[in-house]
Chain A
Amino acid sequence: EVQLLESGGGLVQPGGSLRLSCAASGFTFSSFAMSWVRQAPGKGLEWVSAISGNGGSTNYADSVKGRLTISRDNSKNTLFLQMNSLGADDAAVYYCAKVVVDGNYPYWFFDLWGRGTLVTVSS
């Protein structure tokens, strides 16, 4: 079955760190760019970060640049998001998402989403 399963969310104090993981299955993980998208409670979607299939290229939203780091381990079919210096604005459900590909070209739309993992930032 083609799926993405996020983990690693939880309660963290302001200024703290957290590492999210996303386990992929049912497709050739290394062939696809991946992304993280977050959604604060009751709010809309916010793109956070993206990474190419081989991990050599990354992009970040300005709101997280320098604090969040995306990475991947293709040998373990897993995507990561290292989150440092967390603040109240980072509280959200974090989704990992698979990027649409046409041939080898990433379309930067998302055709497979996980169920999300909730990050709560509070003292």
Chain B
Amino acid sequence: EIVLTQSPATLSLSPGERATLSCRASQSVNSYLAWYQQRPGQAPRLLIYDVSNRATGIPARFSGSGSGTDFTLTISSLEPEDFAVYFCQQRRNWPLTFGGGTKVEIK
């Protein structure tokens, strides 16, 4: 099973600041990595798939990068609605696995 480790667990930032979230895989997932956002009380929402492709309707301030085992989600300038929990997910191997999540909170 591919283990995804996200860091940091919590990121405390102010609106307008840049957020950089990390996801590290226990073995290569090639480019088969996605990012999701989950706001409190809501279902997850797909942000980015295959490392850097934004899903439909996702603002350009969200971007993804990386390859192999190290990946980054960047939010260029935090909006109030971006304070949420973010998860990465790999589809390289079964079972599909998610990272433990990074909470982006208001500083």
Contact = CB atoms under 8 A, between A and B. Distances in A.
Contact of B98 (A44, A107, A113, A115): A44
Interface of A (DSSP majority class)? strand
Interface of B (DSSP majority class)? loop
A108 B91 contact: yes
Interface residues of A, number: 22
B45 A113 contact: yes
7 contacts: A44-B98, A95-B44, A107-B91, A108-B32, A109-B89, A110-B36, A111-B46
Given A46-B98, A111-B56, 13 more contacts: A44-B101, A45-B98, A47-B89, A59-B94, A60-B95, A61-B95, A62-B1, A95-B44, A107-B50, A107-B91, A109-B50, A111-B46, A113-B43
Interface of A: 35, 37, 44-47, 50, 59-62, 95, 100, 107-111, 113-116
